[in-house]
């Protein structure tokens, strides 16, 4: 997974993976394909029984189930800076 995995007619971008114990891993993605972690694990015959997203870009998801919060001004500014040069999914798919 560190070097990319063939899924969905493409090779995923490299990701950071850390083994936490014999059955748990921390995976940091740099792209977000549909069901990417499940598909990458399936490629290696690994079974995913539980996923927990802890962050999206610069926004920490440290809330209880069913709770929400507004983004801070600094989170929103950083988020806008990070996506400034991104292109829409539809546009990216034809590149």
pLDDT given for residue 87 in this prediction: 76
Answer whether CATH 3.30.2350.10 is correct for domain 6-93: yes
The full set of domain ranges for the chain reads 6-93
What's the pTM?
0.73
For the chain, residues with pLDDT lower than 50 are none
pLDDT given for residue 92 in this prediction: 58
pLDDT given for residue 88 in this prediction: 67
pLDDT given for residue 1 in this prediction: 87
Q: Mind giving me the DSSP string for the chain?
A: -TT--EETTEEPPP-EEEE-SSS-EEEE-SS--TTHHHHHHHHTTPPP------EETTEE----TT---PPPHHHHHHHHHHHTT---HHHHHT-
């Amino acid at each position: 997974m560190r070097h990319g995995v063939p899924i969905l007619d493409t090779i995923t971008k490299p990701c950071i993976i850390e083994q936490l114990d014999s059955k748990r891993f921390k995976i940091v993605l740099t792209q977000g394909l549909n069901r990417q972690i499940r598909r990458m694990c399936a490629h290696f015959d690994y079974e995913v029984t539980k996923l927990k997203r802890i962050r999206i870009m610069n926004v920490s998801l440290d809330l209880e189930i069913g709770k929400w919060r507004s983004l801070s001004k600094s989170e929103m500014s950083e988020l806008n800076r990070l996506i400034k040069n991104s292109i829409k999914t539809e546009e990216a798919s034809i590149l």
